[in-house]
Amino acid sequence: MPVRQATAPQALVRGGTTTSAYDRQLHDQRQDTHRRRSAVDQMRAIKRLDPQGTVFKTHALGGQRTHASIVLAMKHPKDNQILDWMVCEFSEQGKDGDLLLVMCCPRCVFQLGRPMGEAQFHIQEANRKFYFTPAPPKWNREFGHIWRNPKDPNEVVTIAGTIDMPEWGHCPHLGCRWRFTIEDSILYTG
């Protein structure tokens, strides 16, 4: 892929027309965008056919998931129905192999209006005790380690296992009082 160089924005000239160099640049950018989007569409089509066998292919093509994933089912505190799903990053950290779970606070995103990047927080096994089991969660045992989002069938995730956190945790962000606990990869709020 050719290296792009930054150029001054000299697109408009007197009379309101654009230069031919700018028109060529726009055409090249659109062609490049179309080529990359079609490559991603092909990758997603292949992944839908065989999600387990295409994990390495998606990583080689620059896929989204280059880490292990844990899927948490978020249940309503009163009527016990699953409201939504949360895909979390799961990894080992440091020489000791401490487990790290990266989550996103739903209250920060939906009620306080924070961007997803600012609403993320992590739970370290050394600081907050949680347990990891490589078996799939009970709510997904019939499908094994493959989870397909019921709201978006194009989203397919390979689940690393199950998380249990018996103690109550809370969102560390300023102004957020969201509390939660995790049992068999089911997120209960309090």
49 and 72 both lie in a single domain: no
44 and 73 both lie in a single domain: no
Is 5 a domain residue?
no
86 and 163 both lie in a single domain: yes
Per-residue pLDDT of the chain (190 residues; tens, 9 = 90+): 556 665 555 544 455 676 788 778 878 877 887 887 787 778 777 777 776 655 443 333 333 556 788 999 998 778 878 888 999 998 888 777 788 899 999 998 889 888 888 889 999 888 888 888 888 888 887 788 888 888 888 888 888 889 999 899 999 988 898 999 999 999 998 7
49 and 128 both lie in a single domain: no
> How many domains does the chain divide into?
2
159 and 95 both lie in a single domain: yes
Is 15 a domain residue?
no
* Domain that residue 50 falls in: 20-60
Is 115 a domain residue?
yes
159 and 185 both lie in a single domain: yes
39 and 103 both lie in a single domain: no
Q: What is the DSSP string of the chain?
A: -PPP-------B-TTS-B-HHHHHHHHHHHHHHHHHHHHHHHHHHHHHH-TTTTHHHHHHTT-S--SEEEEEEEE-TTT--EEEEEEEEEEEETTTTEEEEEEE-HHHHHTS---HHHHEEEEETTTS--EEESSPPGGGTTTTTEEE-SS-TT-EEEB--EEEEEEEEE--STT---EEEEETTEEEE-
